[in-house]
């Protein structure tokens, strides 16, 4: 049986995840984190506070990542029931980070209680907790390939507070979230002044972001346009012989016709199930279709000034002409059917797109987790692809878009980001959460984002993170509108996650200052 504090921590952790999409109950998340902070302050020992933070994290990440189970529904080699165990096992690991954050905050709170007789948490403790959350959430995003899904700051998207991401980034925004929860805790203990001063100040600073917005102008009918296609074909039947043709026909059906303005056609991740590159040594790879024939069919949907960004698989060969890897890739394609630059996904999904330590884990049967016989090979990282008439496109395939500070080539800033994805794996909770994190990247970088997925949610996002238009999950269709313009580089676009460390350092300094004042 769990003790009362641990049971409270578990329940608070479970309900805290309701602040994320699709529920969006962000006030509940703030209250749940206020409870976590109280449990941290009142913990009698270091072991107790670490256990309380860990139990909270188990509940938080189990609910927030429940969509992962759905990915196992498409694994013929693995029973779907294992998906539930995968969600819990992942939560058991991820919970280490909130435990560590609360442990760091508790060290200061423990010293303060000896000085002030244990009258309760104060601003020093709240500042320390907020700073510690920034540090540990950043570590969650980078250690062991990183898994920054559902950063705490994403709950602010329905509010102007989300615009802080342009100034300080997502990780620091998550620290601000803990700070607000701490102010609520202090208010509950009749310390109202910090909340009455802090909340309006945060809101006023967030609204300053509106000054960076471009002045609305009359749409130019000759300006470049974008067409985002969502075929609504999932993973069902992926192994059937007619699957590649069925998907291609549906993509072409929704690709529309050329117009007066140049048009950029964008398709989802990996939906061209034929090889499109020439020059593979073994002609058997082209058994299903000639790549020239495939490219010509796509190019027929393009006008003279149109271009397309299409997703498929590239093959890599060793010296013996044998396949030694594959690329999850995006190519540009012009109206003549000529392939342009290629982007290869750099941040691959372990156990999904490749098997780590294959020589050790494959004999244990874990190769069944990987869809193909050959591992995907990571590309070199963020880059901008030149698209004549449309500017430079930054490419981030699928969950690459969730990595704050890692989506743009700083030396060659793009004009927009293209985020093709396959969210058919993600159940009902995953797609809206994925979209929300893409919107944070738009705010951070000041860049519009085009999202195209097979089953949704496809969208066009402006440079302030607003949804200009979207296609709901489970529907087929297309979006066509003017290509949004970028904003000037934001502070985060210039400095990246150094800003998160600056904010964390400032909060720690405030905590130390209040600690000395308490003495």
Q: Is the peptide bond before 515 cis (omega within 30 degrees of 0)?
A: no
Catalytic residue among 269, 400, 445, 464: 269
Catalytic residue among 113, 301, 345, 353: 345
3-state secondary structure of 122: coil
Residue 341: count of CB within 10 angstroms of its CB: 14
Angle, to 10 degrees, between the axis of helix 4-16 and the axis of helix 26-41? 150
CA distances from 472 to 252, 387, 457 (A): 20, 28, 5
Catalytic residue status for 269: yes
Asked if 256 contacts 480 with a C-beta cutoff of 8 angstroms, the reply is yes
Residue 306: count of CB within 10 angstroms of its CB: 24
Place of tokens 């609910």: 63
Place of tokens 């700083």: 410
Q: What strands, in cross-sheet order, belong to the sheet with 477-482?
A: 339-344, 323-334, 307-317, 263-266, 225-230, 477-482
**Nearest Cα to 289, choosing from 270, 305, 272?**
272
Catalytic residue status for 392: no
142/121 Cα distance (integer angstroms): 31
Catalytic residue status for 398: yes
227's CB contacts (< 8 A; 6+ apart) are: 255, 256, 263, 264, 265, 266, 478, 479, 480
C-alpha angle 162/408/268, rounded to 5°?
Answer: 85
259's CB contacts (< 8 A; 6+ apart) are: 225, 303
Catalytic residue among 277, 398, 444, 464: 398
3-class SS letters over 28-60 = HHHHHHHHHHHHHHCCCCHHHHHHHHHHHHHHH
270's CB contacts (< 8 A; 6+ apart) are: 311, 312, 313, 328, 420, 422
Token pair belonging to 189: 């203990």
401/418 Cα distance (integer angstroms): 9
Residues designated as active site: 269, 345, 398
């Amino acid at each position: 049986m769990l003790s009362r504090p641990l049971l409270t921590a578990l329940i608070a952790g479970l309900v805290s995840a309701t602040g994320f999409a699709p529920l969006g109950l962000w006030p509940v998340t703030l209250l749940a984190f206020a409870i976590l902070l109280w449990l941290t302050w009142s913990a009698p020992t270091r072991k107790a506070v670490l256990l309380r933070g860990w139990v909270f994290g188990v509940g938080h990440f189990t609910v927030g990542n429940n969509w992962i189970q759905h990915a196992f529904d498409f694994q013929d080699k693995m029973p779907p029931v294992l998906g539930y165990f995968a969600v819990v096992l992942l939560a058991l690991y991820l919970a280490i980070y909130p435990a560590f954050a609360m442990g760091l905050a508790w060290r200061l709170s423990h010293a303060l209680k000896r000085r002030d007789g244990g009258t309760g948490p104060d601003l020093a403790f709240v500042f320390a907790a907020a700073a510690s959350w920034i540090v540990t959430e950043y570590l969650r995003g980078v250690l062991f390939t990183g898994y920054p899904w559902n950063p705490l700051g994403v709950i602010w998207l329905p509010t102007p507070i989300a615009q802080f991401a342009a100034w300080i980034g997502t990780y620091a925004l998550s620290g601000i979230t803990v700070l607000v929860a701490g102010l609520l805790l202090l208010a509950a203990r009749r310390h109202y002044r910090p909340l009455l001063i802090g909340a309006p100040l945060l809101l006023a600073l967030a609204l300053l972001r509106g000054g960076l917005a471009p002045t609305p102008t009359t749409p130019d009918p000759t300006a470049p346009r974008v067409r985002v296609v969502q075929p609504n074909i999932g993973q069902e039947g992926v192994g059937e012989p007619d699957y590649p043709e069925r998907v291609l026909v549906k993509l072409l059906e929704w690709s529309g016709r050329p117009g007066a303005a140049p048009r950029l056609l964008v398709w989802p991740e990996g939906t061209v199930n034929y090889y499109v590159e020439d020059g593979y040594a073994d002609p058997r790879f082209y058994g299903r279709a000639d790549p020239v024939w495939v490219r010509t069919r796509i190019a027929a949907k393009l006008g003279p000034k149109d271009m397309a960004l299409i997703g498929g698989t590239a093959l890599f060969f060793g010296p013996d002409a044998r396949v030694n890897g594959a690329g999850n890739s995006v190519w540009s394609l012009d109206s003549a059917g000529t392939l342009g630059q290629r982007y290869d996904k750099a941040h691959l999904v372990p156990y999904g797109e490749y098997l780590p330590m294959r020589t050790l884990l494959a004999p244990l049967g874990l190769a069944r987790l990987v869809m193909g016989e050959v591992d995907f090979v990571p590309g070199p990282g963020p880059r901008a692809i030149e698209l004549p008439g449309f500017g430079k496109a930054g490419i981030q395939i699928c969950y690459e878009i969730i990595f704050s500070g890692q989506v743009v080539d700083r030396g060659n800033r793009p004009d927009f980001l293209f985020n093709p994805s396959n969210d058919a794996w993600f159940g009902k909770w995953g797609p809206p959460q994925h979209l929300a994190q893409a919107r944070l990247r738009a705010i951070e970088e000041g860049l519009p984002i085009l999202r195209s997925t097979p089953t949704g949610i496809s969208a066009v996002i402006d440079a302030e993170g607003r949804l200009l238009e979207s296609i709901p999950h489970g529907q087929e269709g297309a979006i066509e509108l003017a290509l949004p313009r970028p904003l000037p580089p934001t502070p985060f676009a210039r400095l990246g996650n150094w800003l998160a460390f600056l904010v964390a350092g400032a909060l720690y300094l405030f905590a130390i200052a209040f600690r000395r004042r308490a003495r």
